[in-house]
Amino acid sequence: MDRLYKVVIVDDEMISRGFMELLIKPSKHYEVIAALPFAKDALLWCQQNTPPDLIIMDVMMEQGIDGLTAAAQLKAEYPQTKLLLVTSMADADWLQKAKAAKIESFWFKTYSTLSLLDVMDKTMAGESVYPEEAPAVMLGCIPASELTKQQRALLRHLTEGLSNREIAERMYLSPNTVKDYLDDLMDKTGIHSRTALVAKASRLGVVISEKERLNQSEL
């Protein structure tokens, strides 16, 4: 690298935001020109200033638009700016959503084998850096990475507090089939309580309901 890249950090947790600033500050290749608490601030900042070379943005936000939605908007409006989404959650579906939005890179804060600076270097060198799979967090007896797309969808609906009948309507299945899928998931995980299964999946960040991600933007 033979130039200084301008970086904007967006994270609503002050400690996390400050930690990323501390990681980046010693580098001779990057200059943090703004550290913002909300994704909506990043959109406004880019409208009022020259867009940076790289935006590092957390997915979950407690106020305003969520990071995944904001990153997609920023990518569409400022295609020359590279986007790096970060999260401490282990939700595998976010990887596919980020790829679909043409976000350059994705970094799991807690679980990645690459450092933040490594991911930044690769991203600015033109690489798209994505983990092959979500972190191998254990959901009961099995790694969460072994959950099928259908099982993740089932868990996501469970975290929204939906009944089997409501889940059946969302997944275009019969209530009996939903019950069978839930029983099978409980057998595989060894968690034989619907409430405990939801609580553990939510606590580990294995799935985050779309309602939780998007409705935080309505607070």
- Predicted TM-score (pTM) of this structure: 0.79
CATH superfamily assigned to domain 5-124: Response regulator (3.40.50.2300)
Q: Which sequence spans correspond to the domains of the chain?
A: 5-124, 138-218
Flag whether pLDDT at 187 surpasses 70.
Answer: yes
Confidence check: pLDDT of 128 > 70: yes
Q: 22 with 117: CB under 8 angstroms?
A: no
Please tell me the distance from the alpha carbon of residue 25 to that of residue 53, in angstroms, as a whole number: 16
Q: What is the mean pLDDT of the chain?
A: 89
pLDDT of residue 79: 95
**Residues 62-112 pLDDT 10s:** 777 889 999 999 999 999 999 999 988 878 888 888 999 999 999 988 766
With residue 29 as reference, give the H or E element that holds it: none
Taking domain 138-218, whether its CATH number is 1.10.10.10 is answered by: yes
